[in-house]
Amino acid sequence: MAIFTCHLYKKHKIMFAKETYTTRRNSLKKRGDRFLAILDNGESGDYADNTYHFRQGSTSLYFWDLPYAGLAIWISYCMDGIQPALCEKA
């Protein structure tokens, strides 16, 4: 399973062990046979008096521990191993 991601954000504290995210991604792999595209939601506005940060969806956080809104993630199941990010290929 190849995962291509590219973001320019600072590192954050990892919530779970690496194996937890690997297990979650492997469960996705069992459901598909070629590729999977996941489009995460962007930030959603909230009223000014609300002090809590609103998150529309957390798909990228659940599967990849990437806490950033608006990510597009492409997974190719026919390629195994670590693949360079698209920004590294440019």
Name the domain count of the chain.
1
How far apart CA 16 and CA 67 sit, in angstroms, is: 13
The pLDDT score that the predictor gives to residue 2 is: 46
How far apart CA 78 and CA 62 sit, in angstroms, is: 23
pTM for this prediction = 0.50
The pLDDT score that the predictor gives to residue 47 is: 72
Residues of the chain with pLDDT under 70: 1-14, 43-46, 52-57, 78-90
> Residue 73 is part of which domain span?
2-45+53-89
The pLDDT score that the predictor gives to residue 12 is: 59
Q: How many CB atoms lie within 10 A of CB 7?
A: 12
The pLDDT score that the predictor gives to residue 48 is: 72
The pLDDT score that the predictor gives to residue 89 is: 57
